[in-house]
Chains A and B, each alone.
Chain A
Amino acid sequence: MNVTPARVALVPDRWLLLAACLLAPAGLLITRAVSLEDTPRGLDGDVLRQAAYLAASLAAMTAVSRLDYRLLRTLAPQIFALALLALLVVLVLGSHQYGARRWIGVGGFTVQPSEFAKLAVVIAGAAFAADREPGGRTAFASLALFGATIALVVVEPDLGTGIVLGLAWVAIATTWGVSWRFVGTLAVLGLSLFPLTLAVAVPDYQRERLAVFLDPGRDPLGSGFTLRQVEVAFGTGGLTGRGFGGASSALEGVATRTSDFAFAQLGEFAGAAGTIAVIALFAVIAWRGYGVAARAPDRFGRLLATGLTTVIVLQAAMHIAVNLRLFPATGIPLPFISAGGSALLVTFVAVGVLESIAAHRLPGPRESGRAFPG
């Protein structure tokens, strides 16, 4: 299947790009406001570093969007093998932070392989399914592909990323055409396995977090206090927020306030106006991303776009749910916004791939800005 696009626009999907580019500066503002509390003047290292990550990520996105996404289909096995290897390396050599082994040092940087694994497993899953018809056996095989990755991520432990990848499989399988019965059975099975997984595979600290989530008063280690701080941060943020001016924050002393609690920090600084805007922008990404999938020229493109959109948006939903105290605290960054180079780069590369798929999309009956054909 070799479809030549009608024309390659400079920005194949401008709504998608716009949403991504509106979200990213919020992360810089948060990092800057937090650093202002400590160093009242000038830009400190954290802000400059995050700005450099952002610039690199934008460059990577632009480059990737110019490439033909079908290249990924041929490289899928290699990409997947590399990602699994990196996950194994991090388990053996990784450095501990906040009670988990998620990072490896490369030169002066620390890299979080589970971020790259998200991308790799979606590419591999899409490439696998594109060549095969959805049936019981093939569905199981693709599930195994995801399952291996999820297992490695969960033992780090990074339960949040594991759940996001599980949902990405559900989305890809659904679009692929796996029967509802199969997906539904697995969903029920997954939900019933969840408590068991918690009991067996989940480390004490995460179980403790769950217990704290259910009863913030009981916490001996301070997570309950952190949850209280998060609630107060949202509360003092109110409708319009307290601004990014560097005044003292309710999240003072929370080490992960620019990463795992970025949404709460945003809620304090930018208020409900900011949080609703961020959620709306992720809704735009969901709508346009699944739209790119709907109009993709081939099955690989469609499944890839579905998986990438799901990974970005559901990770965001998970982060927001954790911050809003709807889900137990698992350290998961907010795409585009949380501080951290690996996550930012991976997210923008995913957007670049979506743009590349969009560049090859089937012409609709009317040349319109609508996401879905028809």
Chain B
Amino acid sequence: MTGARWSPPLLRLRLLAATTVLLLALLALQALRLQVFDPLVPPTVRNGVARVIPIEAPRGLITDRNGTVLARNVPRYSVLLVPGYLPADPIARQELFMRVEQVIHVASADLQRAATTGLALIDAYAPVTVRDGISNDDAITMRAALAGVPGVSVGTSAARAYERTGALAHILGYVASLPAERAEALLTQGYSLDSRIGLAGVETQYEQALRGTPGRRLVLADPGGRVLRDVGEEPPTPGANIVLSIDLRLQRAVEAALQRGIANGLAVVRRNTGQQRPAPTPAGAAVVVDVHSGELLALVSLPSYDPNLFDGSASGDAIGQILSDPARPLVDRTYMETHAPGSIFKPLVAVAALEEGVATPNTHIFSNGALTVRDEYRPDVFYTFRDWTVHGDLDLNRAIARSSDVYFYQLAGGYSENGRELFHGLGPERLARWARAAGFGKATGLDLPGEAAGLVPDPAWKLRTTGDPWVLGDTYTFGIGQGYFTASPLQMALLAAAIANGGDVLVPRVVRGLDAGGGVAPAPARVAEQLPVSAANLAVVQRGMASAAAMADGTAATGVPNGVAIAGKTGTAEFGQAYPDGQYDTHGWYIAYAPLDHPQIAIAVYLEYGVGQTHAGPVAKEILQGYFALPNGTTTPNRAAR
């Protein structure tokens, strides 16, 4: 059979088989080399258990638009105890604890307890924190005193420190340990149990960018968990720095002005009425927005809180106090809550009336101080809708300047006497459509979490929600920014900005850009809605707001800064429980843009208690003066083309 045995096909198959087996033999040699003869891991640590340990990336900084650092990383010192390194002998251990007690001022009994926790039994090399929040100086002394003491050391971790002035807490937010209910999901996303995560404000909104990419260490540890050797490392990628659009100097000025306004506004609250009324909460909000870019230059909500408290170093009492404060300091009133805006809504009603042909600049209406309408179903019942004063004859310009309620009742709902229509109004549907076109009733798209949408009511909504039909009175109150309609101070500032810039309702933002090392390129302005308004009609409303600010008897005159012409509008909206005489507490509002001819900024001021003209106006004046007093050229309002 020799012939068949070495016939070409058989010969070739033998060759194939031999080559393949030879190849496998070479692989076996390499396997032996990597595992036995020349392993990466030296034999001394062969028993080591491999562990992958995450390395947190340095978190990105947060600065204001001028580069002032608002959130930075600081070392945080704590005394750590590693039970596995402590002397095993109980007496030696006790002596060591006594010695350590002298240095770190933690009772030796507590140290003993820390060394024998359940965790220590499972993983004796997991560090236990026995003292936290040590000052820099103490850390140095302790480190020196603890040198050579086995099992006790001063450890350093990164903590976050926030700018305390300027009421920035709502914008910046804070970082804290992983929340228990999200921990499991986060662990699969590369967080580790001792990671910190942004839980509010920019810290949570831009968590991914700020966090960077964690690195990893590959170590060999002994079975108890003690690290024997580093065998590999993948360095972390630091988080990007975030540049806010906020100007810290302006933010501080706004905070101070608002603080005074809130204190003054509380004067509207009447005491000793004999009624059981909730205690008034001193609160308010103010927004300053660039009318071209939508960048927020200041965003203040009071009361605020100290975000540094949430980093785990504060006592539970301090945090409990914030959580239980009836003024709810955690709520950002600039955008998380909505209220009836009152008369600052009127400029939009005027725009709608002009565009819909309901009114012209020459529409004259006489306000004798109230509007009386007959009940639609019971002819003997009359309702009275009051104006805030007797204005006499008004054209549109003067109606805005004097903020006549009767005038805007009629623009909104029309007016009939004895079944004869004397004035045809917009009606609730058209009014609601214009409100929505101005961005009301939905989130503005601000880059912060938890935005409130507000409410734009219409007959269908009312029937669905309350079961009652829409009545004329609902249209009247809607027309003066009260009743069911609510909006946030941020939305009102954006309305003012839209009136200033030709009708663009901008998407506001608090972050100017990310800086991964090469500077910031501000994103172009984004327009959420475009009010379909002609330049001529918009100019009518702009003139009305300018008159409100400039005329001696204009309601908005209290908000005019020295030396700069502005357009402004006041608002005073009733809310809450009626007093015995039928009066209510009021929110005080003010919106404006400035300068009048070449607008740069729009503002909104909201006082939980106050009157627009008396209390909110002066706050606006201070804010505007603060803005125009800023040194030239250092602020950089974004002039990006629309």
- A residues at B contact (CB < 8 Å): 171, 174-175, 177, 219, 222, 224-225, 228-229, 231-239, 247-250, 252-253, 267-268, 271-272, 275-276, 279-280, 282-283, 286-287, 290-291, 293-294, 302, 306, 310, 313-314, 317, 320-321, 324-326, 365, 371-374
Contacts and interface: CB of A to CB of B under 8 A. Distances in A.
Given A280-B28, A317-B27, A236 B20 contact: no
Contacts of A294: 9-10, 13-14
B13 A290 contact: yes
B40 A286 contact: no
The prevalent SS among residues of B at the interface is: helix
Interface in B192-224: 216, 218, 220
A11 B403 CA distance: 100
A229 B1 contact: no
Contacts of B5: 373-374
Nearest to B41: A235
Given A235-B35, A279-B31, A248 B50 contact: yes
Contacts, number: 157
Contacts of B21: 283, 286-287
Provide the main secondary structure of the chain A interface: helix
Contacts of B36: 238-239, 272
Nearest to A230: B34
Nearest to B190: A253
Contacts of B51: 248, 252
5 contacts: A174-B15, A228-B231, A232-B232, A235-B41, A280-B28
Nearest to A220: B237
Contact of A177 (B2, B9, B32, B216): B9
A225 B218 contact: yes
B16 interface: yes
A282 B22 CA distance: 12
Contact of B32 (A272, A280, A373): A272
A313 B25 CA distance: 13
A229 B51 CA distance: 10
A4 B48 CA distance: 60
B40 A317 contact: no
Contacts of A247: 49
B231 A175 contact: no
Given A232-B232, A253-B52, A314 B10 contact: no
A27 B95 CA distance: 53
B417 to A, nearest CB: 71
A373 B34 contact: no
B17 A286 contact: yes
Which 3 residue pairs spanning A and B have beta carbons closest together? A250-B50, A235-B41, A228-B232
The winner among A234, A253, A282, A310 for most chain B CB atoms within 10 A is A234
B49 A293 contact: no
A302 B14 CA distance: 13
Given A174-B12, A253-B216, A374-B4, A235 B31 contact: no
A225 B216 contact: yes
A285 to B, nearest CB: 9
Contact of A374 (B1, B8, B16, B25): B1
B1 A236 contact: no
Given A229-B232, A231-B40, A290-B16, A272 B52 contact: no
Contacts of A225: 216, 218, 232-234
A279 B24 contact: yes
A302 B28 CA distance: 28
B46 interface: yes
Interface in B408-465: none
B35 A271 contact: yes
A305 B41 CA distance: 42
A171 B218 CA distance: 42
Contact of B13 (A231, A275, A279, A306): A306
A91 to B, nearest CB: 31
A279 B25 CA distance: 8
B234 A224 contact: yes
A250 B221 CA distance: 11
Contacts of B28: 275-276, 279-280
Contacts of B35: 234-235, 237-239, 267, 271-272, 275
Contacts of A276: 28, 31-32
A171 B16 contact: yes
B23 interface: yes
Contacts of B50: 229, 232-233, 236, 248-250, 252, 268
Given A234-B39, A317-B23, A373 B4 contact: yes
Contacts of A287: 17, 21
A282 B41 contact: no
Contacts of B220: 232, 236
Interface band, chain B? 35 or more
B125 to A, nearest CB: 14
A70 B49 CA distance: 53
B34 A229 contact: no
B384 interface: no
B183 to A, nearest CB: 16
Given A235-B39, A306-B13, A372-B13, 20 more contacts: A222-B216, A225-B216, A235-B34, A235-B35, A236-B220, A237-B35, A238-B35, A238-B39, A239-B35, A253-B52, A272-B36, A276-B32, A294-B9, A317-B20, A324-B31, A324-B34, A325-B34, A372-B10, A372-B17, A374-B5
Contacts of A233: 50
Contact of B31 (A234, A286, A365): A234
A229 B13 contact: no
B188 to A, nearest CB: 11
A236 B24 contact: no
A373 B1 CA distance: 9
A354 B568 CA distance: 90
Contact of A324 (B8, B30, B39, B41): B30
A234 B4 CA distance: 45
Q: Which of B10, B34, B48 has the most CB of A within 10 A?
A: B34
A317 to B, nearest CB: 6
A302 B40 CA distance: 44
B175 to A, nearest CB: 24
Interface string B224-252: 00000001111000000000000000000
Nearest to B234: A225
B47 to A, nearest CB: 8
A321 B232 contact: no
B14 to A, nearest CB: 6
Contact of B41 (A232, A253, A373): A232
Contact of A326 (B14, B30, B49, B218): B30
B42 to A, nearest CB: 8
A130 to B, nearest CB: 12
Contacts of B16: 171, 174-175, 290, 306, 310
A175 B12 contact: yes
A286 B40 CA distance: 31
Nearest to B21: A283
A132 to B, nearest CB: 15
A175 B35 CA distance: 36
Interface string B286-304: 0000000000000000000
Contact of B49 (A174, A248, A275): A248
A266 to B, nearest CB: 10
A302 B16 CA distance: 13
Contacts of A252: 50-52
A6 B548 CA distance: 112
Nearest to B221: A248
Contacts of B25: 279, 283
Contacts of A314: 20
Given A294-B10, A302-B9, A374-B1, A238 B46 contact: yes
A236 B4 CA distance: 50
Given A275-B31, A279-B28, A286-B24, A236 B41 contact: yes
A253 B21 CA distance: 34
Given A238-B46, A373-B10, A229 B17 contact: no
A305 to B, nearest CB: 9
